[in-house]
Amino acid sequence: MATGIVDRYGVMGYPVSHSRSPVIHRLFALQTNQNLQYELLQVAPAQLENAVLQFGRTGGKGLNITVPHKSEIVRLVSDMSDRASNAGAVNTLVFRGNEIYGDNTDGVGLMRDLQANIGVQLKDANILILGAGGATRGIVSPLLEAGPEMIVIANRSISKARALAEHFSASGPVVSCRFEDVHSLPIYDLIINATSAGIKGETPPYPTDAIHPHTVCYDLSYGLTPTPFASWAAQNGAARSVMGWGMLVEQAAESFYIWRGVRPETKPVLKQLTVNIA
Ligand code: ATR
């Protein structure tokens, strides 16, 4: 019997008004006949703990956590998945009675976009990651699980790249260098931009030598017009230059599956979101 109570979900971030998550989750709910509501929740860092606890106390079922809270939220969860623990970040919360469970769907979202949507072969691939912040930390483990030949983490500040490479080198072949030390060999199959430079409107001296005619360039950032990295990649002869819209939709689908036990189809939603993109 219908109770009239609608399950509540939402995304917390700061700022969060630009988030496409409400649209994506509403499309998933429509597609799968799930009765739920999904809210946009702007929460400043100082209010994060109160806001999350309050959301759970008032019957909220689950949250997505986005910038800048993904690392900070780790200390508020009662338990978390291995993939969240490896990433040192949580983007999905599930409220279970008094317990808050944390997961991270960003890595699997990227992997599904690269492998299922774009068709990148990651086994034995040479992968260059630009940037050594939280976004990079979240994607190295899932990329290593796919069995690449090598992952090179290049960063403006070498110390951060070195620390990440050391952290992950126990799990697979990961090395670090500065942007200016990236050369044309090995031939990179995939270059991922995980810097936050584009979001800030900055274009760092990305290593042009790294692009080979068969290289796929992938920006974790996305926009309605090409990001600076996406333009740079296209101008410098990449085989494909892709923005992170697919990762956005795929990570949302995984969160939706965790909450509802139903896996939505991502392709029509991705198509609908990107229909107006130049
Ligand atoms: P995120 O969680 O999005 O990864 P972050 O942890 O602040 O954010 O990391 C931002 C990354 O973008 C870092 O690798 C940063 O380089 P530094 O470690 O040298 O600061 C990189 N980044 C940001 N702006 C940049 C710019 N203008 N040029 C080069 N790298 C930049």
Quote the tokens at residue 48: 């994060």
63 has pLDDT over 50 = yes
d(CA 71, CA 229): 25
Domain boundaries, the chain: 7-104+246-274, 107-243
Task: Tell how far the Cα of 275 is from the centroid of ligand 1, in angstroms.
Answer: 30
What is the distance between the terminal CA atoms of the chain, rounded to a whole angstrom? Answer: 47
Let me know if domain 107-243 sits in CATH 3.40.50.720.
Answer: yes
* Helices 21-32 and 267-274: angle between axes, nearest 10 degrees: 140
218 has pLDDT over 80 = yes
Q: From the candidates 70, 160, 200, 271, which is the catalytic residue? A: 70
* Residue found by looking up tokens 């900055």 in the block: 202
169 has pLDDT over 50 = yes
Averaged pLDDT for residues 19-46 = 98
d(CA 13, CA 153): 27
Task: Tell how far the Cα of 156 is from the centroid of ligand 1, in angstroms.
Answer: 8
Task: Tell how far the Cα of 107 is from the centroid of ligand 1, in angstroms.
Answer: 18
Active site residue 70: yes
Can you give the pLDDT at residue 276? 82
Nearest CA to ligand 1 atom 9: 133
CATH class of the domain at 7-104+246-274: alpha beta
Residues 241-261 have pLDDT tens digits of 999 999 999 999 999 999 999
Task: Using pLDDT thresholds of 50, 70 and 90, give the confidence band for residue 3.
Answer: low
- Determine how many CB atoms are found less than 10 A away from the CB of residue 97: 7
Residue of 195, 199, 232 best suited for mutating to test ligand 1, as the one with most atoms within 8 Å of CB: 195
Find out whether 142 and 112 touch, Cβ atoms under 8 Å. Answer: no
Residues 76-131 have pLDDT tens digits of 999 999 999 999 999 999 999 999 999 999 999 999 999 999 999 999 999 999 99
Averaged pLDDT for residues 221-242 = 96
Which numbered atom of ligand 1 lies nearest the CA of 68?
2
Find out whether 22 and 38 touch, Cβ atoms under 8 Å. Answer: yes
Find out whether 259 and 94 touch, Cβ atoms under 8 Å. Answer: yes
Task: Using pLDDT thresholds of 50, 70 and 90, give the confidence band for residue 1.
Answer: very low
Which numbered atom of ligand 1 lies nearest the CA of 204?
28
Whats the size of the chain, residue-wise?
Answer: 278
Task: Using pLDDT thresholds of 50, 70 and 90, give the confidence band for residue 270.
Answer: very high
Residues 187-205 have pLDDT tens digits of 999 999 999 999 888 889 9
d(CA 55, CA 205): 43
